[in-house]
Structure 1
Amino acid sequence: MLQTLAARRLITSSETIDHPVIQVVDGVITSIHSDPRNGAADTTLTSTFFDVHMHGAASHDVMEGTPKAIGAVSRFLAARGVGHYLATTVTAPVEKTLRSLEGIANAIEADAARGEARPIGIHLEGPFISHAKRGVHPPEDIHPPSIALLDRFHQAARGHIRLMTVAPEIPGSIDMITHAVALGIKVSIGHTNATAHETQPAIDAGATSATHTYNAMRPLDHREPGVLGTVLDTEPLFAELICDGIHVAPELVRLWLKAKGEQRGILITDCMSATGMPDGIYMLGNFKVKLSAGRALSADDLAHGKQTLAGSVLTLDRAVANLQRFAGVPLGTAVRMASHTPAMMVGVTDTVANIAAGQPANFNLFNAAGELTQTILSGSVVPAFTF
């Protein structure tokens, strides 16, 4: 089937094309050219988003590992502009994690479903993290770095782990990072109390990113920059950010942007099963989270008088809007930091956020106010999400 898409402008990974006319045949882009006569309204086409750090949505957690759960999450994400994502685990008992990895691997290997974002890999967040900066990760399930355990996870996931979070200060972490890189896994520094001196060896061993910058990290000190100072100062290092105005103040969003820029800053959601849901109790892995007024908090910690953020209910379309509002960046910059930049970090720019002939016709459509109004996956408009 032949389709023609047109807009006032098209934002790609490297340029903006005015008056684009895009030919699509059977869901695949066949040509892109500019024609000032196209008469399109003041709209903007961009690539779809790529979320490299998300745990769930629509009352489901990816660690359920079932077609029903992952299908619901994928439909919800697609309705919010996401074309691809890394299904992200959370620290849990080893056997539970192994079962989850197998279920997620099944979803990755399954045929693409119409109107669903595609999980193209796994982000292993935990169990190789710091007790001091564990956040809501259950302490009883945190493990010291172990090549043997990583290999068990790698085998259960059938090679689909693309990213893993590691605390570099824990003995054995550098050897494990080296091993992970040899397996083709990208390593992100996170949930860590590392000093600057302890962080640098992880970067030297091949770590390429930082997990939700500022959150679950040793705070910045003017005499001991720590992991945070090292992340912000190391130009080649990518760095995630949860841009919801809750996890990170706008002033520090702007500092992160100045340090990392469009080429290294990555917008993520860290969203969990409560995303898209009303206030109530939801699950993140094996533990309960209470959602109230947009904040997801550990239910167990709340029972003990402590407020601990447990992921978020952010969506990437809101993160893109927030970055424009907090930092005054144009739509193109914000979109690239939610699509092309994470694809660069993972090493999938040939197939993700790549608007070119021969690629699937995956697009987000924004109106003149910069609001996401429509998502197209493989040439088909994604319907509104329904339960």
Structure 2
Amino acid sequence: MVSTIAARRLLSEGRVLEYPLVSLEDGRIRHIEGLSAAEHKRVAATHRFPDATLVPAYIDIHIHGCAGHDVMEASSEALDTIGTYLASRGVGAYFPTTVTSPKDETLRSLAGLAYEIGRRQEASLRGATPLGIHLEGPFLSHLKRGVHTDALLEAPSISLFDRFWQAAEGHIRLMTIAPELPGATELISHATALGVRCSLGHSDALVCEAEAGFMAGARSATHTYNAMRAIDHREPGLAAFVLDKQSLFAEIICDGIHVDPLMVRLYFKAKDKDRIILVTDGMSATGMPDGTYMLGDMQVEVRDGRCTSNGVLAGSVLTLDRGVKNLMEFTGAALGTAVAAASYNPSQLMGIGDRWGSLEAGRAANITVVSPKADVIETFLAGRSTITSERTVTSSTR
């Protein structure tokens, strides 16, 4: 069955198409054409968004949970709920992110996540799709551990990583690691050879140590500025390396809490626009009222958008659509640039650009519909609306 979406604009890979009409069939984009304003008013469309923009569905590569669930639960109920909530915020795909835990607990969670990822690849399920696992911990610096439990951190170890890899059935796709730790460059090289994207983070590295991690294969940085050696004019450290190394992708938590808007602007000016990646670092409290929640096995207090454990920031309640809006507000970024930081850029880092991050004929119809102010109106995953299926939308406001 063919359905159609009409909107005011379509943004993808830096191009703008006015008055698009997108034809969908069997979950894929069959055809995209630009109409005249007059044609746009007359055309019969299954879904009509007169003032809205169609953009690629967002991808969150760093998220611990939302809607009252932590990804470490690794259950069908948890991932179903997480996926449904993320789709409501414009997210089509995500990489469930672990937190440092006892080895047996990590192995259990990795095995459960591997099962759930495999199940969702085989079945057509609603909600955002988990595409692979982001291993954040235990190969982190004791000095820049954030809320990761100090006693559970491990020295980089190929043998321990291989245990994780086997438990995850090869679904580890991203790993945060402190490059200055003994054995880190060897592990980065080993993991990179397996197709894992390694990300420099939770690190007290000097520039030379960060460079060594990059040379070993690391291609990204985890939540820029946070849990990194601070910028110093004589001893710059990892944060400065991230800003200076143009080929390095760099996450940022754009909530105005983790990073001051001025420093977001500095990041935005320093980095190539195709290397900035918006992430949430969201935890189970995302989308929930203030209170006490769990991040792994840690209690986190959530008050007025700030998540802390023993006074230390512990993830966020940011949603990716809000991150897009904040990037525009903090830096003056155009909608297309901000959207790319949440869709195209992460797809390029993760090597999934053939399936995600852009809109063109032949691809899966994973589309987010946004208002002129970048509010999410609706999300289509594999051509199906995550809000409703058989109806015509006649307004771009809800």
Residue 391 of structure 2 corresponds to which residue in structure 1? none
Q: Distance in 1 between matches of 2:179 and 2:316?
A: 25
The answer as to 2:96 corresponding to 1:87 is yes
* 1:369 Cα deviation after fit: 3.0
Aligned residue in 1 for 2:3: 3
Q: Deviation of residue 286 (structure 1)?
A: 1.1
What letter is aligned with 2:102?
P
Distance 1:79 1:226, change over 3 A: same
Contact (CA 8 Å) 1:112, 1:118: kept in 2 or not?
Answer: no
Pairs within 5 Å for 1:181-196:
181-196=192-207
| In 2: Cα distance, 1:155 partner to 1:38 partner | 52
Partner of 1:248: 259
The superposition leaves residues 294-325 of structure 1 with CA deviations (integer Å, 9 ceiling, x where unpaired) of 11111xx1xxxxx2000000000000000011
Contact 2:158 2:187 (C-alpha < 8 Å) held by counterparts: yes
SS at match of 2:271: helix
SS in 2 for 1:41: strand
Structure 1 partner of 2:370: 366
Q: Which residue of 2 aligns with 1:337?
A: 341
Please tell me whether residue 347 in structure 1 is matched to residue 351 in structure 2.
yes
1:14 and 2:23 equivalent?
A: no
Partner in structure 2 of residue 226 of structure 1: 237
Written as runs of structure 1 = structure 2, the 5 A alignment for 1:35-114 is 35-36=35-36, 37-39=39-41, 41-110=50-119, 111-114=122-125
Alignment partner, residue 172 of structure 2: 161
Kindly provide the amino acid, as one letter, of the partner of residue 159 in structure 1. G
- Counterparts of 1:266 and 1:317 in 2: how far apart (Å)? 13
**Cα distance, 1:3 vs structure 2:** 0.5
Letter in 2 for 1:9: R
Of the structure 1 ranges 35-44 and 321-330, higher mean CA displacement relative to structure 2 is found in: 35-44
Which residue of the partner structure matches residue 161 of structure 2? 150
Amino acid corresponding to residue 171 of structure 2 in structure 1: H
Q: Once structures 1 and 2 are overlaid, which stretch shifts more, 165-174 or 22-31?
A: 22-31
Q: Which residue type is aligned with residue 20 of structure 1?
A: P
* C-alpha contact (below 8 Å) 1:115/1:383 kept by paired residues: no
**SS in structure 1 at match of 2:131:** strand
Aligned to 1:217: 228
SS of 2:274's partner is: helix
| Equivalent AA in structure 2 for residue 285 of structure 1 | G
The unaligned stretches of length 5 or more in structure 2 are 42-48, 389-398
C-alpha separation in 1, matches of 2:358 and 2:102: 38
- Secondary structure at the residue paired with 2:96? strand
What is the DSSP-based 3-state SS (H/G/I as helix, E as strand, rest coil) of the residue aligned with 1:263? coil
Query: Secondary structure in 2 aligned to 1:7?
Result: strand
Structure 2 residue identity aligned to 1:282:
Y
Range with greater deviation from structure 2 (54-63 or 373-382): 373-382
Q: Which residue identity does 1:16 align to in structure 2?
A: V
Q: Deviations over 1:269-303 (max 9, x none)?
A: 000001001111111011111111111111xx1xx
Letter of the aligned partner of 1:218 in structure 2?
Answer: R
Between the two proteins, what is the percent identity of the paired residues? Answer: 51
**What residue in structure 2 maps to residue 322 of structure 1?**
326
Question: TM-score scaled by structure 2?
Answer: 0.93
Q: Where do residues 371-382 of structure 1 align in structure 2 (5 Å cutoff)?
A: 371-382=375-386
Asked if the contact 1:237–1:264 (Cα under 8 Å) also holds between the matched residues in 2, the reply is yes
Aligned residues between the structures:
377
* One-letter amino acid of the structure 1 residue matched with residue 198 of structure 2: V
CA contact (8 A) 2:345 2:357 kept: no
Deviation for aligned residue 1:383: 2.5
Amino acid across the alignment from 1:176: L
